Amino acid sequence: MKAGGQRITMLTAYDAAMASLFASCEVDILLVGDSLGMVVLGYDSTVPVTMADMLHHAAAVRRGAPGVFVLCDMPFGSYHTGVRDAVINGLRIMKEAGSDAVKLEGGIEMCPVVKGLVEAGVPVMGHIGLTPQTAGQLGGFKVQGKDIEAARRLLAEARALEEAGAFALLIECVPSGLARVISSVVSIPTVGIGAGVDCDGQVLVGHDLLGMYERFQPKFVKHYASLSPLIKAAVAEFSREVRNGSYPDAEHSFADSTDYQRLLQE
Ligand code: KIV
C-alpha cells in the first residue's frame, strides 16, 4: 500500500461486536490496543494490562472479524524481561488469540526483541514517539521529538527498528514535519496518531472516533460521531419506562393463550 500511495486505515477494537462492525467498513487493520486498559477495563494507564487480558480480547476481535488483519499490542512487562520471554508471549498472541502480528513500544533498546520475534515468525510493528507504557519516563503524555536532538533520536530509532525487521511503525504524538521525514526515510509503512497527515496511514482509538470515551480527549482525536449522549439518552429512557411500567409493552411481550389462574388454584 505504501508503494502504491494508498493510505492505511487502522482502528482499535476490543470485542467481537465492534470488530465485526469495523470490519464491515473496510478498515485495513484492527488493533487490539493495550488502551484496552483505560478504555474498557477502567485503569488509569496501560501499565496494569496483562497477557491474559490481551489474549482474551484479541481472541474476541479475531472471532468478530475473521477476515481482517488483526494486530495485538504486547502488554507492559511481556517483552521487557528478555528476548526469550518476548518470543514466548508473541507466539502465544498468534497461536492462542489468532492475531496476525504484534506491536510493541520502544526504540533502539527493543531491537534485539524485535529481531528475536521476527526470527521466530512473529511479525512486529514498532511504536515510537509517545510510548504510553513508559510515558512517566518521557515526562507524561507530551509531544515527542520537538527539538533537533530528540528528532534525530526518533529518526535513528525508526531506522533501527526497520533494520531489526519491523514490518511497520506506529508513530505517536510527534510534530507533523518529523513524521513526514521519518515516513520518507524508512521503506516500511508508518501509521500515525497525532503525527500529521504525511504518515502512510492513520490510527485512532475506536471509542474516540465514535465519541464514547469521555475521560480524556487529546488534540489529535476527531469525533466522527458523538455516541455518548445517544447512549445516555437511550439508557435514561429505558430506566424511565421500566419505572413507569411502560416497558415492556404488548409489542415486546409474548402473548398469553393459557389460563394461568389455574396454576394458582391447583
Ligand atoms: O493501544 C493503543 O490504542 C495504541 C494507540 C496508539 C492506537 O497503541
Q: What is the pLDDT along the chain (266 residues), one digit of tens a residue?
A: 999 999 999 999 999 999 999 999 999 999 999 999 999 999 999 999 999 999 999 999 999 999 999 999 999 999 999 999 999 999 999 999 999 999 999 999 999 999 999 999 999 999 999 999 998 888 778 999 999 999 999 999 999 999 999 999 999 999 999 999 999 999 999 999 999 999 999 999 999 999 998 887 889 999 999 999 999 999 999 999 999 999 999 999 998 888 888 888 87
Confirm whether 248 is domain-assigned.
no
Q: Given the CA of residue 46, which atom of ligand 1 is nearest to it?
A: 1
Handedness of CA 252, 257, 261, 262 (dihedral sign): negative
Enumerate residues 6+ apart whose C-beta is below 8 A from 151: 145, 178, 181
- How remote is the CA of residue 86 from the centroid of ligand 1, in Å? 19
DSSP bridge pairs for 201: 8, 191
Confirm whether 247 is domain-assigned.
no
* Secondary structure class of 184 (helix, strand, coil): helix
172 assigned to active site: yes
- How remote is the CA of residue 126 from the centroid of ligand 1, in Å? 12
Enumerate residues 6+ apart whose C-beta is below 8 A from 135: 45, 141
Confirm whether 38 is domain-assigned.
yes
- H/E segment holding residue 16: helix 16-23
* C-alpha cell of residue 79: 517483552
Question: Exposed, middle or buried: residue 108 (CB in 10 Å: 0-12, 13-18, 19+)?
Answer: middle
- How remote is the CA of residue 227 from the centroid of ligand 1, in Å? 20
Confirm whether 265 is domain-assigned.
no
Q: Return the CATH number at 101.
A: 3.20.20.60
Q: Which of 102, 123, 22, 34 is nearest to 68 (CA)?
A: 22
pLDDT score, position 256: 83
* C-alpha cell of residue 251: 409489542
pLDDT score, position 138: 80
pLDDT score, position 260: 87
pLDDT score, position 113: 98
Q: Whose CA is nearest to atom 4 of ligand 1?
A: 33
Confirm whether 137 is domain-assigned.
yes
Confirm whether 262 is domain-assigned.
no
Confirm whether 263 is domain-assigned.
no
CA distance 132 to 105: 8
Question: Exposed, middle or buried: residue 250 (CB in 10 Å: 0-12, 13-18, 19+)?
Answer: exposed
Cell 449522549 sits on residue: 229
- Which of these is catalytic: 119, 172, 241, 266? 172
Gyration radius from the chain CA atoms:
22
Residue-range definition of the domain harbouring residue 179: 8-228
User: Domain total for the chain?
Assistant: 1
Confirm whether 264 is domain-assigned.
no
